[in-house]
């Protein structure tokens, strides 16, 4: 491994209002992407479908997309997070109680985790990586970290790798969730069985929303979820495209089993095994690459707003999202009416109306999402909401929001290509930003 | 019904001691009018580190709720489905508590209804606070 920086990279977050325009507009671009197939789980046998194999596949796709050789990459930002096991205990790791395999699958790396060293060791040619921080966050802030690393001169061609694994076992039923004790912050929610996932707290918030603004949860959310599934099926790599399920209808939705009523199984993204990769470059390097550079106008991180007591209230949720939107708009110089492509995070469906109203995309204000979702939000129509299909549409990869935004701005989205602006949208907001997270990135195909 | 057992820490020990005496207390700032729950090291409004405790009456109203059909806490799986509600405290509506509302049928939670404090033993010598509809 040739890296001379593997420590922590700090100071990259733009996490508060008042920071002004991102001063590096026009200096950093996304120039490539790659995405592995999306499977429900690794079968434990097919060595060409391991987490590591899928990672290498996605990385090579991103390089090929940009027309970049491995030797040109000097930054590698790999998220060590694996998805299923953050609070899931045994479901997070392949070992140690299951047998490892021959190298390179003789440790967790390549099976449940990835890092820069494993990639460099197993993909010959990455000989010039000099920047590979150890503290890479999940993909929302990872996007911002990578853009800022290029802007700050730590690297000129940076590879971002983000994956999700999903081994056998009930999702996040292990670890502390299997404990009879509630320690730390959990002492304030777990005894009543709240707080074991964002969906719990959000489920209450959206109930408040329906009570305040009228309509049922099903009337509010089903059209948005169905639209996401339709859009997701238009990716060649998504879970439902590859595994022959979905084609969700309203009847399918309302008759699905409840998880945390009013939320049903279709309101929760499906855990999967898949890896995505993205390539960032300086303006100087991007100009000779294969694809049109997509300029980073801004990135944000941290969180908006505060929660005073046990449970975020609807008022707090709305205030937080408005604050986040303000940060995103301030840093990009865009206003709501300037945003062509809007791909917010949707790991739980109820994030969608709350985020939409916070950003006021297409003029949607508090309490107006139900009417908006029940209008024409298809990719062919005037309000192409979440054209990428999000996590609900492709599985829990957390990459669809970014990939779709890139494809839309390049004019390469195929059947998903929006028709607004004669099919040539110019700006996009995309995110992996749960709840009050401010982890957004703003892109443009026009040179700032 | 098995519930997770709260494990007090240095900050929360006075609170759980009071609960075990069947009293509900919240933090009170010495330098501003703020009452807060759950306890924090400092006042969330003025930043003061001088915080005491105030016993509250234990009257509230239901703000919202959901129903757990397929939760992640293993000890609660046999109880599914069950209600989880949010209750605001009448003495300070910005304070809210989780509640299971024992005795209230699943999904039949009257939003806005008055509730009163009750206590439930979750382990020998360890109570937790919950809420039930005022009859």
| Domain range list for chain B | 13-133
Tell me, yes or no, if A169 comes closer than 8 A to chain B by beta carbon: no
Tell me, yes or no, if A250 comes closer than 8 A to chain B by beta carbon: no
Q: What percent of chain A has pLDDT over 70?
A: 95
pLDDT at A316: 95
Spatial distance between the Cα atoms of B71 and B98, rounded to a whole number of angstroms: 15
Across A260-283, average pLDDT: 95
pLDDT at A59: 98
Across A289-300, average pLDDT: 98
Whether domain A28-170+271-286 has CATH 3.40.47.10: the reply is yes
Taking CB atoms and an 8 Å limit, are B68 and A260 in contact across chains? yes
Among A75-89, A126-140, B25-39, where is mean pLDDT lowest?
A75-89
8 A C-beta contact, residue A353 and residue A373: yes
Closest CA to B3 of B69, B63, B58, B82: B82
- Comparing CB atoms, the residue among B70, B84, B128 nearest residue A194 is B84
Write out pLDDT tens, residues A327-377.
999 999 999 999 999 999 999 999 999 999 999 999 999 999 999 999 999
8 A C-beta contact, residue B132 and residue B122: no
Across the A/B interface, how many CB contacts are shorter than 8 Å?
A: 130
For A352-377, b/e burial (b = at least 16 CB within 10 A) is: bbbbbbbbbbbebebbbbbebbeeeb
pLDDT at B40: 98
pLDDT at B26: 98
Across B14-38, average pLDDT: 98
C-alpha A67: how far from chain center: 24
Nearest-Cα distance to chain B for A263, in Å, is 9
Give the residue extent of every domain in chain A.
Answer: 28-170+271-286
pTM: 0.96
Higher-pLDDT residue of A190, A97: A190
Query: Which residue, among A309, A313, A348, would best test binding to B if mutated, counting the most B CBs under 10 Å from its CB?
Result: A309
Mean pLDDT (chain A, rounded): 93
**Helices (H) then strands (E): counts for chain B:** 1, 9
Residue B121's H or E segment, with its range, is strand B114-123
Across A185-206, average pLDDT: 80
8 A C-beta contact, residue A339 and residue A362: no
> Is the confidence at residue A2, as pLDDT, over 60?
no
Q: How confident is the model at residue B57 (pLDDT cuts 50, 70, 90)?
A: very high
Tell me, yes or no, if B84 comes closer than 8 A to chain A by beta carbon: yes
- Comparing CB atoms, the residue among A183, A261, A310 nearest residue B66 is A261
pLDDT at A81: 75
Neighbours of B2 (CB within 10 A): 14
Q: How confident is the model at residue A86 (pLDDT cuts 50, 70, 90)?
A: very low
Spatial distance between the Cα atoms of A72 and A262, rounded to a whole number of angstroms: 50
Residues 6+ apart with CB under 8 A from A292: A409, A410, A445
Tell me, yes or no, if B40 comes closer than 8 A to chain A by beta carbon: no
Q: Which residues of A touch B70 (CB under 8 A)?
A: 257-260
Write out pLDDT tens, residues A29-42.
999 999 999 999 99
Helix (H, G, I), strand (E, B) or coil at B72: coil
Nearest-Cα distance to chain B for A171, in Å, is 8
Mean pLDDT (chain B, rounded): 96
Tell me, yes or no, if B17 comes closer than 8 A to chain A by beta carbon: no
Tell me, yes or no, if B117 comes closer than 8 A to chain A by beta carbon: no
What contacts 24+ positions apart, CB below 8 Å, involve A376-384? A377/A223, A377/A224, A377/A227, A378/A227, A378/A230, A379/A231, A379/A234, A379/A413, A379/A415, A379/A416, A379/A417, A379/A418, A379/A419, A380/A418, A380/A419, A381/A419, A382/A420, A384/A341, A384/A418, A384/A419, A384/A420
pLDDT at A84: 59
């Amino acid at each position: 491994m040739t890296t001379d920086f593997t420590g922590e990279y700090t100071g990259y977050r733009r996490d508060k209002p008042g920071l002004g325009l991102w001063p590096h507009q026009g200096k950093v671009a996304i120039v490539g992407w790659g995405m592995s197939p999306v499977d429900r789980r690794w079968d434990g046998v097919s060595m060409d479908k391991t987490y590591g194999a899928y990672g290498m596949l996605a990385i090579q796709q991103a390089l090929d997309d940009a027309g970049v050789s491995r030797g040109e990459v000097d930054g590698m930002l790999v998220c060590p997070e694996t998805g299923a096991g953050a609070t899931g205990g045994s479901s997070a790791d392949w070992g140690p109680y299951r047998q490892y395999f021959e190298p390179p699958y003789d440790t967790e790396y390549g099976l449940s985790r990835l890092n820069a060293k494993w990639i460099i060791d197993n993909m010959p040619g990455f000989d010039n990586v000099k920047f590979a921080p150890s503290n890479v966050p999940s993909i929302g802030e990872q996007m911002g970290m990578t853009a800022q690393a290029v802007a700050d001169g730590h690297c000129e061609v940076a590879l971002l790798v983000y994956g999700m694994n999903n081994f056998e076992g009930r999702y996040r039923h292990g670890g502390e969730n299997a404990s009879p004790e509630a320690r730390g912050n959990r002492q304030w929610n777990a005894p009543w069985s709240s707080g074991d996932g964002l969906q719990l707290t959000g489920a209450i918030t959206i109930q408040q929303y329906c009570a305040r603004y009228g309509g049922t949860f099903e009337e509010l959310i089903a059209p948005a979820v169905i639209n996401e599934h339709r859009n997701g099926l238009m990716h060649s790599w998504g879970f439902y495209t590859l595994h022959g399920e979905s084609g969700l209808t309203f009847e399918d939705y309302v008759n699905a089993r409840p998880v945390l009523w009013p939320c049903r199984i279709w309101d929760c993204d499906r855990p999967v095994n898949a890896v995505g990769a993205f390539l960032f470059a300086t303006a100087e390097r991007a100009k000779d690459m294969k694809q049109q550079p997509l300029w980073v106008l801004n990135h944000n991180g941290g969180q908006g707003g505060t929660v005073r007591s046990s449970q975020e209230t609807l008022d707090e949720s709305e205030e937080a999202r408005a604050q986040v939107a303000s940060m995103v708009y301030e840093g990009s110089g865009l206003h709501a009416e300037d945003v062509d492509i809007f791909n917010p995070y949707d790991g739980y469906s109820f994030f969608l109306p709350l985020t939409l109203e916070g950003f006021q995309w297409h003029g949607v204000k508090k309490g107006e999402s139900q009417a908006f979702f029940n209008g024409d939000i298809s990719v062919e129509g005037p309000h192409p909401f979440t054209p990428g299909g999000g996590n609900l549409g492709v599985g829990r990869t957390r990459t669809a929001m970014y990939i779709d935004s890139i494809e839309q701005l390049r004019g390469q989205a195929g059947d998903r290509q929006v028709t607004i602006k004669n099919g040539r949208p110019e700006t996009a907001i995309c995110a992996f930003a749960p709840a009050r997270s401010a982890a957004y990135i703003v892109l443009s195909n026009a040179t700032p | 019904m098995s519930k997770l057992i709260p494990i007090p820490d240095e900050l929360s020990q006075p609170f759980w001691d009071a609960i075990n005496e069947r009293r509900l207390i919240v933090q009170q700032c010495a330098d501003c009018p703020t009452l807060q729950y759950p306890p924090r090291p400092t006042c969330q409004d003025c930043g003061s580190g001088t915080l005491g405790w105030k016993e509250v009456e234990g009257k509230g109203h239901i703000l919202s709720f959901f129903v757990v059909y397929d939760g992640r806490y293993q000890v609660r799986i046999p109880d599914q489905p069950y209600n989880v509600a949010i209750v605001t405290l009448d003495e300070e509506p910005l304070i809210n508590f989780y509640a299971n509302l024992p005795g209230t049928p699943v999904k039949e939670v009257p939003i806005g209804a008055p509730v009163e404090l009750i206590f439930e033993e979750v382990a020998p010598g360890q109570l937790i606070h919950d809420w039930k509809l005022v009859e």
